[in-house]
Amino acid sequence: MEKEKIKAWITKYALTEGIQLVNGEVCHGISSTMLTYGQYGTAHGIDWHRTPEAALARAEEMRIAKIKSLRKSIAKMESLVFKCPIE
């Protein structure tokens, strides 16, 4: 089957590098959710999008999840109590 050439928005590294716009190919022969781009770039499933709106929505989900994770880590650090062993 032919590879479908499209313009896609990559959110795989949205929290560190931002959303990337790439020209890629959907690999229907392998999986319709797999996109290859550039020399070695690949994205799977929810890591790439056909519209900028979908990419923005996913990046926002990622941002909210990261904030939730960081708040949980902060709470764990705040509740941490150190004890020093005694001879």
> Domain map of the chain by residue range?
4-79
Q: Which H or E run contains 59? A: helix 52-79
Give Cα separations from 71 to 65, 66, 67, 76 (angstroms): 10, 9, 6, 9
- Residues 6 or more apart from 13 whose CB is under 8 A from it? 20
3 Cβ neighbours under 8 A, 6+ residues apart: 25, 26, 27, 28, 29, 36
* Per-residue pLDDT tens digits of the chain, which is 87 residues long: 677 999 999 999 999 999 999 999 999 888 999 999 999 999 999 999 999 999 999 999 999 999 999 999 999 999 999 999 998
